[in-house]
């Protein structure tokens, strides 16, 4: 099923330096407060930009009601809607969805039903302040791209032909 609605929040700090230091994370939620959806059958996602000091809702997506199994095409539309996110939190996620999310560089994270988005954001911010775990460090590195100084040491050594 295709995306039916997409609300993008503009203004605030979403278009300046905040976005340069923030990661985008999606939460499978119908009430935009709690995780209450399985990834494959998620009717909506709340997408936040998060850095160590602040978090802002930047987008909300909505899909129609879906069954849990039997329609793998629904995954592609959801993953496309999450483009730019480093992770997606949900109650559960199937094996085929995990494979597709990983291929799109999105980390699937399973949490207990009813987990509060605000608490998950705080935990992510703590992790960003204290030093990210392996998956988060890799995601941040991918977002930053290659270092402009990565060849400086080789240049300093000189070149012999």
pLDDT at residue 147, rounded to an integer: 58
Distance CA 114, CA 83 (A): 25
Least Cα distance to 109 among 23, 31, 51 occurs for 23
- Which tens digits make up the pLDDT trace of 113-151? 999 999 999 999 999 999 888 888 888 888 776 656 667
Q: Please say whether the beta carbons of 43 and 64 come within 8 A.
A: yes
Break the chain into its structural domains and give their ranges: 3-157
Q: Which residue has the higher pLDDT, 152 or 132?
A: 132
Distance CA 59, CA 155 (A): 44
- Which tens digits make up the pLDDT trace of 72-113? 567 998 999 999 999 999 999 999 999 999 999 999 999 999
**Length of the chain as a residue count:** 161
Residue corresponding to tokens 């094996």: 95
pLDDT at residue 161, rounded to an integer: 66
CATH architecture of 3-157: 2-Layer Sandwich (3.30)
Contacts by residues 10-14 (CB-CB < 8 Å, ≥ 24 positions apart): 12/56, 13/54, 13/56, 14/49, 14/56, 14/58
Q: What is the mean pLDDT of the chain?
A: 84
Query: Which ranges constitute the DSSP H helices of the chain?
Result: 17-21, 73-81, 95-103, 117-130, 134-144, 152-157
Q: Who's near 35: CB < 8 A, 6+ residues apart?
A: 27, 28, 29, 89, 90, 91, 111, 112, 113, 114, 115, 116, 117, 120
Distance CA 51, CA 54 (A): 6
pLDDT at residue 14, rounded to an integer: 46
Least Cα distance to 135 among 145, 126, 124, 146 occurs for 124
């Amino acid at each position: 099923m295709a995306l039916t609605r997409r609300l993008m929040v503009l203004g605030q700090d979403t278009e300046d330096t905040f976005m340069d230091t923030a990661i985008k994370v999606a939460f499978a939620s119908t009430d935009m407060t709690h995780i209450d959806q399985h990834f494959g059958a998620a009717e909506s996602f709340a997408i936040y930009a998060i850095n160590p000091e602040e978090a802002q809702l930047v987008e909300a997506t909505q899909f129609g009601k879906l069954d849990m199994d039997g329609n793998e095409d629904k995954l592609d539309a959801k993953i496309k809607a999450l483009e730019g996110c480093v992770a997606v939190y949900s109650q559960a996620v199937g094996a085929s969805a995990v494979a597709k999310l990983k291929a799109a560089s999105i980390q699937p994270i399973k949490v207990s039903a009813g987990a509060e988005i605000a608490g998950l954001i705080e935990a992510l911010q703590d992790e960003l302040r204290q030093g990210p775990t392996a998956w988060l460090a890799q995601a941040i590195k991918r977002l930053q791209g290659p270092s402009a100084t990565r060849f400086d040491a080789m240049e300093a050594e000189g070149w012999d032909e």
